[in-house]
Amino acid sequence: MKVVLVGGTPAEHAGDRGRTWDGRKDFAYSSYNYAIGLLRTCALADPRAREVTDIALLDFPVARTQRRLGEAELSAILAERPDVVGFSTGCWDVDLFEESATLLRRRAPSIRLIAGGPGVGQHAARRMRASPAFDAVITGEGEGTFVELCRRGFDSYEGLGGVVFRDGDRLVENPEPAPVVDLAAQPSAYLDGGFEPRADALLVEPSRGCKFRCSFCSWSRLGGGVRQASRARIAGEVAFGLRRGHGAVNFCDTAINHDTERLRELCEAITEGDPGHRLRGSAFIRHEALDEAQLDILAEHPFSELILGIESTHPRALRTVGKAPLDLATLERRLEAIGRTGSRVTLSFISGLPGDSLEGFAATLDWAEAVVRRLPEVVNMACFFWLAVLPGTRYEARAETYGFAVARRGTPYVVRSRDFSEGELVRISRMLQERVARTPRLACEDVHGVVSRARDVRDLEATILADPAARDDRRPPPLDGRRTS
Ligand code: B12
Ligand code: SF4
């Protein structure tokens, strides 16, 4: 049975196309879909699943405003002569994959079409009611369910935790949640699955889960607590990165310092895999949790980028996020202390937060600009993200209270709220663009650039979603799908 797993990577980050500053590269400069490589590896590790299925991987760069996969990409999928196509979705490509699945169904009605990933996971039944695109959606962690489906030859979804599927006209929601993965026992996509991503930075998952519940984040919604990968796997994957000529490792867990002993073990595993510290390392860290003991560990194992979620300096905005108000003097001392360990930091902020205001945002921007100028040897850059109300988050649950209106396709960017009119969100984009132009260490999301460059924004959602290619008959040829293995 032929299974094709299809992923989508935001085009501006696919391969090695993302942001760099002064030769220093951030987490997003180089990316690919890791989930599909991992899912195939787990299937390969199961004798029955391996016997029944042959799994190919396709990872397509997707542009933010792209509506569906292009002809070349659909042909690349069909050329594999699949019995099953499984889409790995994020909020940025779930609509695009839904439309693409509908086109595939028209051309090859016998193909079974399934989807998983954070783009569909939270409101699977609602999505399936709204669109007939997928036969089944796998919610939550996908390894266990995917392997079991392979074992069954995708013949039945009965009794599989976390699965929503069609039975004729009926939608069936299996009541049990998806099985929680034991990360310590998991095979390695690179070492066991032969997954060889064509990107400079290798993505490694040292842990899964988060202790916190920031209101904008859907990352922490998976149950099962924080689980750790084995030290041997982390060391082995880092060594693989070095051996295969990767320039960097991106650690994609929620934070590397939930626990001081685990931070020590992670750093030791990295050193075991890369004793000369030749690979650049990028990781998320909770700055609030950093203490002397953690700083001592980091001093032995510096990272080229530690990403700190600051979000805002405005106390009211931070309250809605679920974070304590900031003491900026303490934070700056902490940044200096990180700098003394030899690591560099990227500060991450969100524009348009509930509780914030134009003045509050301007104050955050002032502080960020001052700090990147004052601490150039510590702060790589300060990045501003446009608030997206992600499915399953606390912000989504309180959407009415906060008066959120969001873009109806792709990433659910806020286009209006109780605290910001459309015009004010446009002003924020322009303010940001001005600062980014004068202080290159400030960066903002592509969508800020699009809005700030638009001459006349009558309808913010339409401006965000406008697809110049869709209005143009001379649409450029579609991007090539890259086989990732
Ligand atoms: C690497 C990464 C990226 C990469 C892209 C990677 C890619 N090609 O997919 C980059 C850096 C480009 C990126 C960008 C963004 N990202 Co991002 N990113 C991540 C990150 C850190 C790791 C993803 C990963 O590999 N995880 C490990 C794998 C194993 O987990 P997984 O992908 O969830 O897959 C599991 C299940 O979902 C399921 N599954 C997945 N696919 C499939 C398919 C099938 C068939 C099945 C059965 C199961 C299944 O099984 C897998 C194993 O359990 C996650 C956070 C996280 N740690 O997950 C955020 C995350 C995916 N990103 C997120 C967001 C919001 C964004 C941005 C929109 C942020 C922003 N505002 O800028 C941008 C996109 C901007 C744009 N231009 O459109 C959200 C997604 C939320 C959502 N509902 O979609 C996440 C979850 C973080 C969060 N804060 O909530 N991101
Ligand atoms: S933003 Fe980071 S710390 Fe907050 S819930 Fe998400 S993963 Fe956890």
pLDDT digits (tens, 9 = 90+) for 215-251: 999 876 667 789 999 999 999 999 999 999 999 999 9
The residue extents of the domains of the chain are: 2-21+31-180, 200-301, 304-475
Can you list the alpha helix ranges (DSSP code H) found in 10-70?
A: 35-44, 47-52
Bridge partners (DSSP) listed for residue 311: 349
What's the 385 CA to ligand 2 centre distance in angstroms? Answer: 15
What's the 468 CA to ligand 2 centre distance in angstroms? Answer: 34
Bridge partners (DSSP) listed for residue 20: 25
What's the 36 CA to ligand 1 centre distance in angstroms? Answer: 11
pLDDT of residue 233: 98
Index of the ligand 2 atom closest to the CA of residue 211 = 8
Whether 32 has a pLDDT exceeding 60, the answer reads yes
Bridge partners (DSSP) listed for residue 305: 282
**Residue 372 corresponds to which tokens in the numbers above?**
């990147």
Q: Are 452 and 30 in contact (CB under 8 A)?
A: no
- Residue among 123, 114, 64 nearest 93 (CA): 64
Best of 12, 88, 148, 157 for a ligand 1 pocket test (most atoms within 8 Å of beta carbon): 88
2-21+31-180 adopts what CATH topology?
Answer: Rossmann fold (3.40.50)
Phi (first) and psi of residue 111, to 5 degrees: -70, 135
Cα–Cα dist 405/421, whole Å: 10
Task: For Cα atoms 10, 225, 273, give the angle at the middle one, nearest 5 degrees.
Answer: 65
What's the 374 CA to ligand 1 centre distance in angstroms? Answer: 33
Q: Are 216 and 387 in contact (CB under 8 A)?
A: yes
Global confidence as pTM: 0.96
**Residue 240 corresponds to which tokens in the numbers above?**
């693989």
Cα–Cα dist 135/91, whole Å: 19
Question: Which whole-number Å values give the CA distances from 378 to 23, 100, 201, 392, in the listed order?
Answer: 15, 44, 21, 35
> Using CA positions, which residue lies closest to atom 10 of ligand 1?
28
Banded pLDDT at 24 (limits 50, 70, 90): confident
Q: Tell me the pLDDT tens digit for each residue of 340-381.
A: 999 999 999 999 999 999 999 999 999 999 999 999 999 999
What's the 406 CA to ligand 1 centre distance in angstroms? Answer: 20
Task: For Cα atoms 356, 361, 367, give the angle at the middle one, nearest 5 degrees.
Answer: 130
Banded pLDDT at 485 (limits 50, 70, 90): very low
DSSP state string for 81-146: --SEEEEE--TTTHHHHHHHHHHHHHH-TTSEEEEESHHHHTTHHHHHHH----SEEE-S--HHHH
Ligand that lies nearest to the alpha carbon of residue 114, given by its number in the listed order: 1
Residues with CB under 6 A from ligand 1: 5, 7, 9-10, 12-13, 27-28, 31-35, 38-39, 64, 86, 88, 90-92, 114, 116-119, 121, 138, 141-143, 146, 203, 205, 217-219, 252, 385, 388, 390-391, 411, 445-446
Cα–Cα dist 93/145, whole Å: 22
b (16+ CB within 10 A) / e for 337-371: bbbebebbbbbbbbbbbbbbeeebbeebbebbbeb
Q: How far apart are the first and last CA of the chain?
A: 18
**Which contiguous run of DSSP H or E holds residue 300?**
helix 292-300
Task: For Cα atoms 238, 11, 440, give the angle at the middle one, nearest 5 degrees.
Answer: 80
Q: Tell me the pLDDT tens digit for each residue of 118-170.
A: 999 889 999 999 999 999 999 999 999 999 999 999 999 999 999 999 999 99
| Between residues 71 and 121, the one the model is more confident about | 71
Cα–Cα dist 412/6, whole Å: 22
CATH 3.30.750.210 assigned to domain 200-301? The reply is yes
Question: Which whole-number Å values give the CA distances from 238 to 85, 191, 197, 250, 272, in the listed order?
Answer: 31, 10, 14, 10, 8
Whether 94 has a pLDDT exceeding 70, the answer reads yes
Phi (first) and psi of residue 313, to 5 degrees: -100, 0
What's the 311 CA to ligand 2 centre distance in angstroms? Answer: 11
Q: Is 214 in the pocket of ligand 2 (CB under 6 A)?
A: yes
Residue the block writes with tokens 């502080």:
367
Beta strands in 191-294 (DSSP E): 201-204, 207-208, 227-228, 248-251, 280-285
CB atoms within 10 A of CB 145: 24
- Mean pLDDT confidence for 201-216: 95
Bridge partners (DSSP) listed for residue 138: 116, 163
**Residue 415 corresponds to which tokens in the numbers above?**
């286009």
Ligand that lies nearest to the alpha carbon of residue 143, given by its number in the listed order: 1
pLDDT of residue 467: 65
Phi (first) and psi of residue 21, to 5 degrees: -130, 120
Q: Are 485 and 54 in contact (CB under 8 A)?
A: no
Cα–Cα dist 384/163, whole Å: 36
Cα–Cα dist 101/132, whole Å: 9
Cα–Cα dist 284/308, whole Å: 6
Q: Is 243 in the pocket of ligand 2 (CB under 6 A)?
A: no
Q: Tell me the pLDDT tens digit for each residue of 280-316.
A: 999 999 999 999 999 999 999 999 999 999 999 999 9
Distance of CA 96 to the CA centre of its chain: 16
- Residue among 29, 17, 14 nearest 346 (CA): 29
Phi (first) and psi of residue 62, to 5 degrees: -120, 130
Whether 481 has a pLDDT exceeding 60, the answer reads no
**Residue 92 corresponds to which tokens in the numbers above?**
């940025």
Q: Are 431 and 349 in contact (CB under 8 A)?
A: no
Index of the ligand 2 atom closest to the CA of residue 254 = 7
What's the 212 CA to ligand 2 centre distance in angstroms? Answer: 6
200-301 and 304-475 have identical folds: yes
Question: Which whole-number Å values give the CA distances from 467 to 46, 412, 462, in the listed order?
Answer: 43, 16, 9
Q: Are 253 and 219 in contact (CB under 8 A)?
A: no
Whether 471 has a pLDDT exceeding 70, the answer reads no
pLDDT of residue 468: 57
Which of the following CATH numbers is that of domain 304-475: 3.30.750.200, 3.40.50.720, 2.60.40.10, 3.40.50.200?
Answer: 3.30.750.200
Q: Is 217 in the pocket of ligand 2 (CB under 6 A)?
A: yes
The mean pLDDT of the chain is 93
Ligand that lies nearest to the alpha carbon of residue 413, given by its number in the listed order: 1
Whether 99 has a pLDDT exceeding 60, the answer reads yes
Identify residue 184 by its one-letter amino acid code. Answer: A
